[in-house]
Structure 1
């Protein structure tokens, strides 16, 4: 009975948050109705909880309890703090686009460095332009996932990035999400469209400004990748130690496209990255990799669903987790092979390194094969550092901490090496090394 009451109280509080925010949510024409329908989808399910199979290890109803009020419009002081944080995580040679407390900040962004083949608009601009109603409807489309539905209802801003057919963006585009508030929530939604034969690399960084704490982030990225196009998408989440980060990626790729995806979580209290990737054109190749770096009581969840919708596609997934103290890492990977998707070649591996007796790793690799003539496999392992290797390194003069650090670097190095850009690979490596140094 108490659970029912708690659920009702949570739904009522979330409804109050939505009602209070509606006047600040951009959108002309049908957009308010689309938001209301998305919120109804969310309300029927409520916060994701353990009774939902895809959320069985990450019960947000128990972990966070409630949705916090929407963050206010960032003021001048917030922008100053955000500028300092965005500068600290800037990737080398990247074109920086900054979102502060869920609002695009053009004054902190490198709009003047955009290449001619790239068009960038804010989501707010698109939603308030009735001429763009068709695109707005796509932007605010919902799925059965209640976290994504809540994002559709509450999104205040984001970026609409379009790369024209046949163009290659030479420099990475970095979207920096900066949180400056206390006990507030932010909702951002970005849309990437790569025309046929286009190529681009997009980095998303999540960081707190000095003094930010207790906030909740709900972000969604929707990407449409054309025929023979390629997208490299890298996400690095380093939220405040008591913050919540829920990030979703919905990606569809055409014929003979190439997807290189990477996600790393290295801070925060509760984190969930979920990717829904559809290989919709024949001959498409996917490389999806990730690392969870977990210590203290961080709960980090990575859930990837790869849908092989057509024949002759290839997917590879490599995931690593390093867990210390009382941390918990979750990896769920599901490969779906649709009827008729013959000649599918798919493989998934996940490995966890436990550095303490209290560390926990949950892995759930799945195959759902509905076609013949396919090659699919998965594997999952977990364990501690190899004592023999530690002894070997210490016998050659390394301290115990240095020996452990060297082995951890080697352990997480394999998925990081899959990042095709050397600059972006170095960027991710530097973030991982910072996490290692902070705990040594």
Structure 2
């Protein structure tokens, strides 16, 4: 096999970023060694580009070009602007954990009165303890990816959350990422453990404070769902219009458990969620729904790798993209069925709605099946609004934009309706309506 070596245009700048950041990164000993190894792995590739199959449609070397320096520790002015920004997304009664420019802001978080059975520690505190010099495992992942390597090298902070066995949380945990600085990068890594038989909801927001622009976010989350547990994870990404956000999430799901993941991207110039999900326990259930609401020249990418590692698991992936102007939406979904994973039931569907002749939707659903007793399928469609339905609505007095908005709401409604919590579902609907109103 011939291998073509690609010049790493982001190498020198990224090297200086890592060199400048090492003095402020938490962790010594083995942790520091793993950071260096992770950065070396990133340097071998540099920013992902179109010759890497998983990044074929999201060429960061062309879209981003360079790795920006890490943001500094937020000062009082930054915290004040972050506080104003989170008011629009904060959920009443939720346990809020706020990260400002990649650093946990304890003064903006609700950690003083945690629900019984829930513990939260900052990643920085865990890695800085001398007894934890060997905790490099917090920076390691089974998935191999350049942006995950860069995250391991530069992760400034994050949280380590544990929900004890059997705990039933009545209100959600809310993780809010706030950007306050411009032309800088943030990198955080969080760990969430949902104990055996526990039930929890996790809401994740990415927003920009007033004045924040042209920043880069490279956040990661590693999440374990214990046996007979359930986790509902809702992500709402509304970054600054010229920001870049690459988020990586790695899930391990235990036996007889349920994971529901919903992601909606409506902000940012370039956004990508890559989720690596392993169904590691028998009779587990996975439901993934995603929505991209994009306009202007926005680029949104949702990439899923679902690994059915054991028998008897079910997975459903449903994605909707709505594209206006010259927007570009990408969906890549791969279902892997291992040889021993008999009686797997996996289905995947992606649909794109093009509101402009210049919009682009790329879809790549894949199945890799190594077992013979399975039920798996995938599909993809793309098209414009139905002219006959538009005519029907306009003939009854609705203006064109309002008629379009109703049809768009119906198009994304199937994905949104999968959110079981009424309050969270209403919040997502409101965010979608905000996008539609801005379009009008």
Q: Deviation per CA, 1:38-69, whole angstroms, max 9, x where unpaired?
A: 11111112111101110000000111110000
Q: 1:235: which partner in 2?
A: 235
1:151 Cα deviation from its structure 2 partner:
0.2
1:427 is aligned to 2:391? no
Q: 1:70: which partner in 2?
A: 70
1:113 Cα deviation from its structure 2 partner:
3.9
Contact 2:27 2:133 in 1 (8 A): no
1:317 Cα deviation from its structure 2 partner:
0.6
Q: Deviation per CA, 1:275-296, whole angstroms, max 9, x where unpaired?
A: 0000000000000110000000
Supply the distance in 1 between the matched residues of 2:369 and 2:336 (Cα, whole angstroms): 6
Task: Classify the secondary structure of the residue corresponding to 2:266.
Answer: strand
Supply the distance in 1 between the matched residues of 2:256 and 2:132 (Cα, whole angstroms): 29
Q: 1:369: which partner in 2?
A: 369
Q: 1:189 to 1:353 in 2, by over 3 A?
A: same
Q: 1:356: which partner in 2?
A: 356
Q: Deviation per CA, 1:127-162, whole angstroms, max 9, x where unpaired?
A: 11233456x322100432010010000000011110
Q: 1:324: which partner in 2?
A: 324
How many residues matched?
Answer: 436
1:92 Cα deviation from its structure 2 partner:
4.0
Task: Classify the secondary structure of the residue corresponding to 1:240.
Answer: coil
Contact 2:8 2:45 in 1 (8 A): no
Q: 1:141: which partner in 2?
A: 140
1:28 Cα deviation from its structure 2 partner:
3.0
Supply the distance in 1 between the matched residues of 2:215 and 2:286 (Cα, whole angstroms): 33
Question: Equivalent residues in 2 for 1:14-413 (5 A)?
Answer: 14-133=14-133, 136-142=135-141, 143-413=143-413
1:94 Cα deviation from its structure 2 partner:
1.9
Q: 1:424 to 1:92 in 2, by over 3 A?
A: farther
Q: 1:5 to 1:29 in 2, by over 3 A?
A: closer
Contact 2:47 2:146 in 1 (8 A): yes
Task: Classify the secondary structure of the residue corresponding to 2:352.
Answer: strand
Instruction: Name structure 1 gaps, 5 residues minimum.
Output: none
Task: Classify the secondary structure of the residue corresponding to 1:88.
Answer: coil
Task: Classify the secondary structure of the residue corresponding to 1:402.
Answer: helix
Supply the distance in 2 between the matched residues of 1:289 and 1:130 (Cα, whole angstroms): 41
Q: Deviation per CA, 1:75-116, whole angstroms, max 9, x where unpaired?
A: 000000000111111134322110000000010111134201
Aligned alpha-carbon RMSD (Å): 1.3
Q: 1:410 to 1:9 in 2, by over 3 A?
A: closer
Contact 1:262 1:289 in 2 (8 A): yes
Task: Classify the secondary structure of the residue corresponding to 1:111.
Answer: coil
Supply the distance in 1 between the matched residues of 2:7 and 2:168 (Cα, whole angstroms): 49
Supply the distance in 2 between the matched residues of 1:109 and 1:365 (Cα, whole angstroms): 39
Task: Classify the secondary structure of the residue corresponding to 1:112.
Answer: coil
Q: 1:349 to 1:292 in 2, by over 3 A?
A: same
Q: Deviation per CA, 1:309-366, whole angstroms, max 9, x where unpaired?
A: 0000000011000000000000000000001111000000000000011010000000
1:188 Cα deviation from its structure 2 partner:
0.6
Runs of 4+ deviating beyond 6 Å: none
Task: Classify the secondary structure of the residue corresponding to 2:389.
Answer: helix
Q: Deviation per CA, 1:4-37, whole angstroms, max 9, x where unpaired?
A: 9994442011011000000010013311001111
Q: 1:89 to 1:218 in 2, by over 3 A?
A: same
Supply the distance in 2 between the matched residues of 1:116 and 1:93 (Cα, whole angstroms): 14
